[in-house]
Amino acid sequence: MAPEDVAWRQSQGDCPDRTVRSTKLINWGANRWGFKPEFGYSQRWAKWVLDGYMGVWLFTTNNDFWSHNSFYPGTRSQSQSPIGSFEGHMSYDFKPRLWASPDGNYWFGGKTSVNGVQNPLTQQSNCRLGGTVAIPVTKHQSLKFSYNNGTYIRFGGNYQSVSAAWQYSRLGKPKLPAAFLHQGTNECSIFGRVDFYGVSS
pLDDT tens-digit readout, 128-178: 999 999 999 998 899 999 999 988 888 777 888 999 999 887 765 544 444
Main-chain dihedrals φ then ψ at residue 113, nearest 5 degrees: -135, 140
pLDDT of residue 109: 94
Domain map (residue ranges) of the chain: 9-129+174-198
Which of 106-120, 131-145, 175-189 has the least mean pLDDT? 175-189
Q: In angstroms, rounded to a whole number, what is the distance separating the alpha carbons of residues 175 and 181? A: 9
Main-chain dihedrals φ then ψ at residue 114, nearest 5 degrees: -115, 120
pLDDT of residue 173: 52
Neighbour-count burial of 56, counting CB atoms closer than 10 A to its CB (0-12 exposed, 13-18 middle, 19+ buried): middle
Q: In angstroms, rounded to a whole number, what is the distance separating the alpha carbons of residues 25 and 31? A: 12
Tell me which residue of 36, 3, 24, 30 sits closest to 66, measured CA to CA. 24
pLDDT of residue 172: 53
